[in-house]
Structure 1
């Protein structure tokens, strides 16, 4: 078993039980010289009561970033979208676009009156605000519908940040990575993803505290909002097997399954065809923009056998399923046979990242799934920022690609619109794929060598594992206090 290295001299100068990023993270340390340098020796005993505590700073910053996200999408709120405004101003949002596409402008009830392409909790969310806006303003209620949805989603975003703070007592500045992530600013309101992200964060909080029933309920609701939280089931069960502690995992999975069923039952009973549309659409979809399969197809010629195979939906479904299964087998091997059991957040991040890297659909807003897990798995700024640069390159490349393919001689792009050749979009897609792969490799290295893992070094254990840990149980997070230092002494 690997030995965790003891704290360095700089780390030992931090306040007891609280991490100071200026002494533990090279990027923050370098930036800190602009405001006086890293935390010094005489900061060992900061005032116990002060308004500008780290948690307040992080939450206030989250509110400011939420406001900026709202402003970033504001030009598209009215739905007019003249002269490709949604692409040239990077403000496209499914929330506004589907006001008409899902017949919410006609007072349609999701699933019952019109099939919905999302899981039921997202559909219910759409329906509640859609019916309210239609009831107040009729077909003209689209702008009200968008703003109501956006405000509630951004509140959920702040809630997700609060959940991350609860998962990392003693390391409140880790949550600033989620707050300050550039991709969050541009994609927070592209879709309804803050809903499942917030539920997933508090599922992990409840599980870390040993509240398996509460965790199961929150997890089931998260899966009822979007598919991706279901992917955490594999990591949870694998770690339960590694620790030989099954009860907490099985209770959580069982309660989650029951909660998901209860949430879906109304749509299954009264609107089965509309409810089934989500599953049908995912089986029918072809290669989406920017995926690894899109890149592969770009380098084939029409008529080539591989090009033809990738254009055949049943074959494509099998190809990406096999690729994902192979990746999951590799992650399972790493989980079961690494020298030290990996942390739950590390394995969850690897599985969700593998799902996106091998999948046939990789929508721009899916980065919202990964960022909180990346922060929990590896809260180090350098590689995180490299990945975020890759995401931003793809974001801007994607909108330019949409502008390019949407414009024509009869409807040209405006002069200020950036029209790009296909190879530029492929390069941006490769940047996203490569930088995420680099982050995956970094997490794998942390698993193989736990002395590199800053979370395990700080807590001495996995703070997210809850009752899976044989000797600690729900003490991993309790009353907002960090674990006692369990690292070996000199």
Structure 2
């Protein structure tokens, strides 16, 4: 440190992030309030759960996945009752269930306690994820993280499932990469993939930008660290609880078309693309085509794209071609959508579509329930307006990001005189490979 440099105390550096942390805590609290009608007894009645829009997987899975009695991966239960999540998430559920069981014997009270403890963890993950996102965005754009802290879609979907755990790990990975701590980035990425599968798409984004810049060593360190972390947490279960470990992968492969997926529209209308195997292959082929297009874009653009832009495009492609698109998947995309293009108009349009889908899915399920009156729900056509609303609005955001990549002068982030605030070794890196002669 030279005589003119001054080390800023941590407390001083943390002060600008304090309001964002408070907003994230407010968002976490509002998400809890949304589900209070169910927490006080509504979960025991399906129609009440749907009409109060307070469904969560957390409460019923405490009973249905043997969490109330034993370890989810080692439990002697039928295959379809084993935990269908990767091991980090499964063990998070297990540890919380230990605390829930330790306090009292009544299994109903245990389930509510399991939900409350899980919500505390998820609320912390939301706050941490928001702060990490703000750090990635940089000083001039840290307030963009408000979208992740308190947007309506995040508040509504926060506690449906455990997705916020993977969100915090993914944001940690992105910040570690931005700070050029490649080994830490790899470890966090490996843990994120062992929590939810979608962060695997970020490896593709890193690879494409590595190919363009020839910064191979940082990428290989991150790749090796990610593989190592994934193996460390998975190997014990692969060795000692094979059937429980492979449940997630078998379930993902055999699962048919489910709620939220555009493929469900074609199935309901009798358009012949169906059969579980056909949809799996069609989904994979569609994803491969979109990823090929993203690769060409990344390698042929007049200026190297930002990492967040490629991550967003890859993740959006993964979601749009999947066999299932649950309401909580919005939590995957929000931080990357905002980092890729923090323009409020398309973001508001997309948030409205997500809120409409959140309302529509529960009203649609009410109509399917044998215990409800016919006037409580909605039909197929109304429901599918919500399904396609998400597809169209995300497609619009993807189109704007592609436009920004092809015309960097339109990128609002780069107008702040930055190259790639989250790019790490890619920031201000020279191009070493490109598909177009002009770029080369």
TM above 0.5, yes or no, is yes
Structure 1 residue 460 displacement after superposition: 2.3
Contact 1:231 1:352 in 2 (8 A): yes
Structure 1 residue 469 displacement after superposition: 3.9
Change (3 A) 1:203 1:459: farther
1:321 and 2:284 correspond: yes
Q: Deviations over 1:63-84 (max 9, x none)?
A: 1111111111122225643261
1:188 and 2:158 correspond: yes
Matches within 5 A, 1:432-451: 432-451=390-409
CA distance in 2, matches of 1:52, 1:98: 38
Partner of 2:126: 157
Q: Which of residues 217, 223, 228 in structure 2 aligns to 1:258?
A: 228
Partner of 1:92: 55
List alignment gaps of at least 5 residues for structure 1.
1-48, 301-305, 473-490
CA distance in 2, matches of 1:257, 1:243: 23
Partner of 1:34: none
CA distance in 2, matches of 1:51, 1:349: 28
1:458 and 2:416 correspond: yes
1:75 and 2:3 correspond: no
Change (3 A) 1:459 1:218: farther
Further displaced range: 77-86 or 389-398: 77-86
Q: Deviations over 1:67-115 (max 9, x none)?
A: 111111122225643261210111111111201111112x210211152
TM-score (norm 2): 0.90
Structure 1 residue 180 displacement after superposition: 2.6
CA distance in 1, matches of 2:302, 2:242: 48
Structure 1 residue 54 displacement after superposition: 5.1
Q: Which of residues 331, 347, 356 in structure 1 aligns to 2:294?
A: 331
Q: Which of residues 295, 300, 318 in structure 2 aligns to 1:355?
A: 318
Contact 2:367 2:374 in 1 (8 A): no
Change (3 A) 1:400 1:262: same
CA distance in 1, matches of 2:401, 2:265: 25
CA distance in 1, matches of 2:361, 2:45: 19
CA distance in 1, matches of 2:247, 2:407: 44
Contact 1:243 1:470 in 2 (8 A): no
CA distance in 1, matches of 2:243, 2:268: 36
The 3-state SS of whatever aligns with 2:104 is helix
1:112 and 2:74 correspond: yes
Partner of 1:412: 372
Matches within 5 A, 1:279-358: 279-300=249-270, 306-307=271-272, 309-310=273-274, 312-358=275-321
Further displaced range: 275-284 or 449-458: 449-458
Structure 1 residue 471 displacement after superposition: 4.9
Change (3 A) 1:459 1:324: same
CA distance in 1, matches of 2:14, 2:296: 45
CA distance in 2, matches of 1:167, 1:412: 47
CA distance in 2, matches of 1:150, 1:67: 9
Partner of 2:336: 373
1:55 and 2:17 correspond: yes
Contact 1:84 1:413 in 2 (8 A): no
List alignment gaps of at least 5 residues for structure 2.
1-10, 431-440
Contact 1:236 1:249 in 2 (8 A): yes
Structure 1 residue 444 displacement after superposition: 0.8
Change (3 A) 1:83 1:363: closer
Structure 1 residue 459 displacement after superposition: 4.0
Partner of 2:92: 125
Further displaced range: 52-61 or 339-348: 52-61
Structure with max Cα Rg: 1
* Equivalences, count: 411
Q: Deviations over 1:239-264 (max 9, x none)?
A: 00001111111110110011001011
Change (3 A) 1:269 1:56: same
CA distance in 2, matches of 1:443, 1:83: 41
CA distance in 2, matches of 1:54, 1:401: 43
Contact 1:331 1:347 in 2 (8 A): yes
Structure 1 residue 120 displacement after superposition: 0.4
Contact 1:187 1:365 in 2 (8 A): yes
Change (3 A) 1:250 1:405: same
CA distance in 2, matches of 1:240, 1:83: 49
TM-score (norm 1): 0.81
- RMSD between superposed Cα atoms in Å: 1.9
Contact 1:121 1:221 in 2 (8 A): yes
